[in-house]
């Protein structure tokens, strides 16, 4: 059911997902095609690490300094022809509101954010684009919101916990051909700083 290719040293699996061995033990196969074998030992890695090694993982990030009270900063995500699997994380140094919108319209996309392949010797690129500080004309539907707790007023200032665009700091799968806006609004009674990072791969 499972074999090792003599020339490549990689595991191969046939189309049967289960079977019975010669000593009558039931075997159920996981999908391990392409797993690497070194010194006769099978090496299995988690998916995020696998994607980095295959050149399929990407990242981007930015920051804003001195966002005034009731001012906002954030990111426009234009998803290309493939769905975009994302992990967004952000922190502030003051109380703020995060709002996540789907199907937005803009008059100006803002500043293009460089997207880097996390495998630095790989030239593959992602099909989507990211933009900082867009001019939004229609916000679309809000699909998630959260609160940064970074303190209010000049005497009460500290770093917030990391805030994501999904409950439990989990991943989100964005739809191909759609545009999304992550808006972060200062509510802390003074100027506020913002830092955010975006990790992604395509399906």
Terminal Cα distance for the chain, rounded: 28
pTM of the model: 0.75
pLDDT band at 23 (very low <50, low <70, confident <90, very high): low
- More confident position, 34 or 90: 90
Whether 49 maps to a domain, the answer reads no
Residue 60 and residue 12 share a domain: no
Residue 119 and residue 33 share a domain: no
Residue 92 pLDDT more than 80?
A: yes
Residue 14 pLDDT more than 50?
A: no
The total number of structural domains in the chain stands at 2
- More confident position, 195 or 20: 195
Lowest mean pLDDT among 8-12, 160-164, 197-201: 8-12
pLDDT band at 41 (very low <50, low <70, confident <90, very high): low
| Contact status, residue 138 vs residue 105, Cβ threshold 8 Å | yes
Lowest mean pLDDT among 2-11, 33-42, 94-103, 152-161: 2-11
Residue 133 and residue 86 share a domain: yes
Q: State whether residue 47 is helix, strand or coil.
A: helix
Residue 81 and residue 13 share a domain: no
Summarize the confidence of residues 89-99 as an average pLDDT. 92
> Which of 148, 165, 161 has the alpha carbon at shortest distance from 101?
165
Residue 10 and residue 87 share a domain: no
Residue 4 pLDDT more than 50?
A: no
CATH number for the domain that contains residue 129: 2.60.120
Confidence (pLDDT) at 16: 47
> Which of 86, 80, 174, 87 has the alpha carbon at shortest distance from 126?
80
Chain segment 182-203, per-residue pLDDT in tens: 999 999 999 999 999 999 998 8
Confidence (pLDDT) at 15: 47
Residue 76 and residue 21 share a domain: no
Cα distance between residue 169 and residue 192, in whole Å? 22
The domain in which residue 26 lies consists of 2-44
> Which of 44, 150, 152 has the alpha carbon at shortest distance from 93?
150
């Amino acid at each position: 059911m499972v074999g090792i290719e003599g020339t490549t040293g990689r595991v191969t699996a046939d189309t049967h997902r289960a079977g019975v061995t010669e000593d009558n033990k039931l075997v159920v196969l996981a999908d391990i095609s392409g797993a690497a074998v070194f010194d006769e030992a099978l090496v299995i890695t988690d998916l995020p690490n696998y994607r980095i090694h295959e050149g399929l993982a990407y990242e981007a990030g930015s920051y804003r300094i001195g966002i005034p009270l009731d001012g906002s900063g954030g990111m426009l995500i234009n998803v290309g022809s493939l769905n975009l699997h994302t992990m967004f994380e952000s922190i502030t140094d003051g109380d703020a509101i995060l709002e996540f919108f789907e199907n937005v319209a803009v008059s100006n996309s803002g500043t293009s954010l460089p997207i880097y392949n996390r495998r630095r010797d790989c030239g593959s690129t992602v099909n989507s684009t990211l933009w900082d500080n867009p001019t939004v004309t229609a916000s679309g539907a809000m699909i998630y919101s959260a609160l940064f707790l970074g303190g209010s007023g000049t005497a009460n200032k500290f770093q917030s916990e990391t805030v994501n665009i999904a409950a439990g700091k989990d991943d989100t799968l964005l739809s191909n051909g759609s545009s999304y806006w992550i808006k972060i609004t200062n509510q802390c009674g003074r100027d506020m700083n913002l830092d955010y990072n975006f990790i992604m791969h395509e399906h």
